[in-house]
A = this chain, B = another copy of it.
């Protein structure tokens, strides 16, 4: 699936992350235009936050940071003509969505990921349950029971754990992050262009 001759960028995201929403909507198109292959890497920010002694989202722990982030998101989404609605509760539990993503072949992860983010931050919907996630699979003409069952097998649980450990080992501090073949890390939706440029130079 991965062409070793193509420039490649890993897109690391947590479904609970706000800035990963606009990033997920533009990463594939921008990468295709640059001739860069995207690898979708869902992970859980939890272990990274725990290491910084944050028990929960920094946007809730530091209300001032949270207020700024939502205003900044409003501006970003307005510019991209994306709807924005805060889900309740925020952040959403992203565990099952991440696991379901990992059951899909690489070329279907982008579409699934965008469906989840559009419902979560475009419509403010809860994305943690099987009904919701099954609906996205059905929209993609995939059998919900098959992938929802796969999602809770030990193999997939282990894959997500492994992904989160790798995120930690890479030194990620938030989502979205972009990682090049050589391990160069770019953090934030606003660093996507720089990350693509770097991937092309490697």
Contact = CB atoms under 8 A, between A and B. Distances in A.
B68 A171 contact: yes
Contact of A64 (B52, B62, B72, B191): B52
Contacts of A65: 52, 173
A67 B185 CA distance: 11
A65 B49 CA distance: 11
Interface residues of A, number: 19
Contacts of A173: 62, 64-65, 68
Contacts of A51: 64
Interface string A50-86: 0110000000001011011001100100000000000
Contact of A190 (B52, B71, B171, B190): B190
A51 B63 CA distance: 11
Contacts of A71: 185
Contacts of A185: 68, 71
B64 A171 contact: yes
A123 interface: no
A187 interface: yes
A134 B46 CA distance: 49
Contact of A62 (B52, B68, B191): B52
A194 interface: yes
Contacts of A171: 64, 67-68
Given A51-B64, A52-B64, A71-B185, 13 more contacts: A52-B62, A62-B173, A64-B173, A67-B171, A68-B171, A68-B173, A68-B185, A68-B187, A72-B186, A72-B187, A75-B194, A188-B190, A190-B190
10 contacts: A51-B64, A52-B64, A64-B173, A65-B173, A67-B171, A68-B185, A72-B186, A75-B194, A190-B190, A190-B191
